Amino acid sequence: METIVGIDLGTTNSEISYLKDGKPVIINIDNQPIMPSCVGVDKSGNLLVGMAAKNQAVSDPEATVLSIKRKMGESIKIPLGDKEFSPEEISSFILSELKKQAENHLGIEVKKAVITVPAYFDDAQRKATKDAGALAGLDVARIINEPTAAAVAYDAGHKENHKMLVYDLGGGTFDVSLVVVEDGIVEVKASHGDTHLGGDDFDDLLMNHVAEEFKNKKGTDLSQDVKARSRLRASVEKAKRELSDNPYAKIREEFIFQDHHLDIEIQRLDYEEMIRPLLQKTLDCIHMCLKDASILPRDIDKIILVGGTTRTPLVHEIIQKEFGLEPRYEISPDLIVSMGAAIQGGMIAGHDTHSILVDITPHTFGTSAIDEYQGMMRPDVYIPIINRNTPLPVSKAEVFQTSHDEQEKVEVNIYQGEESLAGDNTFIGNFMVEGLSKVPAGNKMVLNLELDINGILKVTAMEKATGLSKEVIMDTKNVQRSLDLDAAKKNVASMLSMEEDVIDISVGEEKGDLISKAKELRIRAEKLSESLNEEDAKEIHDLLAKSLKAVNEHDWETLSDVNESLEDMIFYLEE
């Protein structure tokens, strides 16, 4: 069967993939799964595409074309070196490079492709994309909408009908689409968006913030110097990515301007306040999209995240808050559109297709801390750090603070689960960090959790001010659900009161003795319940459960055995 590749021809980056054994495989370019959608010419007039062109964009902006996708469908000429090109021609250079790389990888000639476009692209823009493919020597088997491709990637192999919201926040644009899957047909019902809202705007906000702080400290305006500005842009973009996984990021550039160094730290909380109004705009777009599709928020079955900027934790948070649905991001948000296009290509070529399987954590991992729970401050609130469905491997960090003045040690407890109170989750392990600085309460501790595909969790707790840290490796596979003492005591108590209810059933005299004995043992166990350790509480709880079951089932033989075991145990505990 023929190979029809899938191409996501993006504004910032492009990707190419193909179907192998029913599953999409991304083709790496220069060891990277994504290629910048960048075209340029070098000093000798040679064509540069991808990373090579992006690298020279800073030093030679006139010889580089960025974001050509924004111009598709326009009748304009773009100067490049000493020539001029149409948007279709520039795009064809990107497609030719992708085709060449795929051919090198596959060892065959690649003739056909499915190429994706935004749902809002009009006929002229779609035709321009198809023409770009033809100029690159590709027979464009189909042009499909990006949200359709994303929905196909999540849906391949599934049969149920459902409604999905595809939230696509890339470098320069935001799109949201309501996609309906009915009887295997995937259809975009409505789309909304903002063609000038994306990660680049987040970079701008960070740049302004850093430039302002630099000006206050050094009295120099960085934004006036072209070179300093472009170094600053690259530096804040890196810091922005870091803030997706860490509570702090450093922005450091030596000699950024004259003899001044730049050395500023950004806190995620401050950054989130900068970008919050932009993310609010995306929520407004979603509501307009739903209105256009005549669909209520509660009718959405799934929310899919697409585009590099959706790695920002605040994106997940605001979506979850607004719709009460955990957004899905287990298929890489940069690669999902290309993968969906490859699945579509495979379908056209007559291949069988399967669901995309990715290594994810099925559980949330986190710690316990003093926080608010149902309007009250409690010391045992569960604070998630790695959320379930996150692709593996993953590393995430959060910041915590000491609660007492001159607190010299902290205990780090790690749990796995989804419950709001730490003790209701599975306990994974704990350790103590000692020798902290004698400072007032509020000493910052950074807790980093790193989980690999084998379930090995590396936990690092670090005193931020000094770098003092402790690292412990924990195995999260085969973790037994450990007993929480409070919960066990409650369980024992509830079991005792349940027994009270059923104990008065009418039975013969001999059996009545067995039941009376059970009752006496229950009262003795009750007296002990406050002083039980975890292990004993569990054993007592299990025996009382067996006792209750035996009474209910009139299983006098078992009740006699259980009475005996309980008596032995209580005797030993009363010692």
Q: How far is the CB of 246 from ligand AMP (least distance, A)?
A: 11
Q: How far is the CB of 154 from ligand AMP (least distance, A)?
A: 17
Active site residue 168: yes
- Measured between alpha carbons, how far is 229 from 45 in angstroms, rounded to an integer? 27
Pair of tokens at residue 543: 């025996």
- Measured between alpha carbons, how far is 207 from 456 in angstroms, rounded to an integer? 37
Q: Active site residue: 88, 97, 131, 146, which one?
A: 146
Q: How far is the CB of 242 from ligand AMP (least distance, A)?
A: 8
The residue of the chain with the least Cβ separation from ligand AMP equals 199
Q: Active site residue: 8, 15, 131, 253, which one?
A: 8
Considering only 3, 13, 443, 491, the residue that binds ligand AMP (CB under 6 A) is 13
* Best CA proximity match to 443, nearest among 408, 472, 476: 408
By beta-carbon proximity to ligand AMP, the closer residue of 282 and 309 is: 309
Applying CB under 6 A, does 54 fall inside the site for ligand AMP?
no
Applying CB under 6 A, does 334 fall inside the site for ligand AMP?
yes
Applying CB under 6 A, does 146 fall inside the site for ligand AMP?
no
- Measured between alpha carbons, how far is 335 from 535 in angstroms, rounded to an integer? 48
Stretch that binds ligand AMP, among 7-15, 55-63, 80-88, 113-121 (CB under 6 A): 7-15
* Cis status of the peptide bond prior to 393, with omega within 30 of 0: yes
Q: How far is the CB of 364 from ligand AMP (least distance, A)?
A: 19
Applying CB under 6 A, does 235 fall inside the site for ligand AMP?
no
- Measured between alpha carbons, how far is 128 from 91 in angstroms, rounded to an integer? 9
| Residues contacting 534, CB < 8 A, separation 6+ | 482, 483, 484, 485, 488
Applying CB under 6 A, does 311 fall inside the site for ligand AMP?
yes
Applying CB under 6 A, does 24 fall inside the site for ligand AMP?
no
Applying CB under 6 A, does 417 fall inside the site for ligand AMP?
no
By beta-carbon proximity to ligand AMP, the closer residue of 240 and 363 is: 240
Q: Active site residue: 97, 131, 155, 168, which one?
A: 168
- Of the CA atoms within 13 Å of residue 323, those in its CB half-sphere come to 26
Active site residue 60: no
Applying CB under 6 A, does 12 fall inside the site for ligand AMP?
yes
If residue 573 lies in a helix (H) or strand (E), which one and from where to where? Answer: helix 556-574
By beta-carbon proximity to ligand AMP, the closer residue of 275 and 428 is: 275
Considering only 64, 91, 125, 244, the residue that binds ligand AMP (CB under 6 A) is 244
Chain Cα centroid distance, residue 234: 23
Applying CB under 6 A, does 199 fall inside the site for ligand AMP?
yes
- Measured between alpha carbons, how far is 252 from 122 in angstroms, rounded to an integer? 43
Question: How many residues contact ligand AMP, by CB under 6 A?
Answer: 19
Q: How far is the CB of 310 from ligand AMP (least distance, A)?
A: 8
Strand order in the sheet with 162-169: 185-194, 174-182, 162-169, 302-306
Site residues for ligand AMP, 501-520, by CB under 6 A, read: none
CB atoms < 10 A from the CB of 385, how many?
18
Q: In the block, which residue shows the tokens 């006929």? A: 123
Q: How far is the CB of 257 from ligand AMP (least distance, A)?
A: 23
Considering only 309, 332, 367, 402, the residue that binds ligand AMP (CB under 6 A) is 309
Applying CB under 6 A, does 308 fall inside the site for ligand AMP?
yes
What are residue 412's DSSP bridge partners?
431
Which runs of consecutive H residues, i.e. helices, occur in 293-375? Answer: 313-323, 336-349
What are residue 476's DSSP bridge partners?
none
Chain Cα centroid distance, residue 314: 11
Applying CB under 6 A, does 282 fall inside the site for ligand AMP?
no
Stretch that binds ligand AMP, among 145-153, 182-190, 215-223, 235-243 (CB under 6 A): 235-243
Applying CB under 6 A, does 8 fall inside the site for ligand AMP?
no
Q: Active site residue: 15, 23, 54, 69, which one?
A: 69
Handedness of CA 337, 338, 339, 345 (dihedral sign): positive
Applying CB under 6 A, does 170 fall inside the site for ligand AMP?
yes
Applying CB under 6 A, does 40 fall inside the site for ligand AMP?
no
Q: In the block, which residue shows the tokens 């593996």? A: 392
- Measured between alpha carbons, how far is 146 from 338 in angstroms, rounded to an integer? 9
Active site residue 444: no
Torsion of CA 156, 157, 163, 165, to 10 degrees: -30
Applying CB under 6 A, does 50 fall inside the site for ligand AMP?
no
By beta-carbon proximity to ligand AMP, the closer residue of 126 and 240 is: 240
3-state secondary structure of 13: strand
- Measured between alpha carbons, how far is 337 from 374 in angstroms, rounded to an integer? 41
Pair of tokens at residue 33: 């799964």
CB atoms < 10 A from the CB of 221, how many?
13
Q: How far is the CB of 34 from ligand AMP (least distance, A)?
A: 6
- Measured between alpha carbons, how far is 472 from 448 in angstroms, rounded to an integer? 11
- Measured between alpha carbons, how far is 7 from 95 in angstroms, rounded to an integer? 8
Q: How far is the CB of 323 from ligand AMP (least distance, A)?
A: 21
Applying CB under 6 A, does 171 fall inside the site for ligand AMP?
yes
Which runs of consecutive H residues, i.e. helices, occur in 223-306? Answer: 226-243, 268-292
Applying CB under 6 A, does 116 fall inside the site for ligand AMP?
no
Applying CB under 6 A, does 384 fall inside the site for ligand AMP?
no
By beta-carbon proximity to ligand AMP, the closer residue of 307 and 345 is: 307
Applying CB under 6 A, does 36 fall inside the site for ligand AMP?
no
By beta-carbon proximity to ligand AMP, the closer residue of 448 and 491 is: 448
Applying CB under 6 A, does 237 fall inside the site for ligand AMP?
yes
Applying CB under 6 A, does 272 fall inside the site for ligand AMP?
no
> Cβ(263)–Cβ(213) under 8 Å?
no
- Return the active site residues: 8, 69, 146, 168
Residues that bind ligand AMP (CB under 6 A): 10-13, 170-171, 198-200, 237, 240-241, 244, 307-309, 311-312, 334
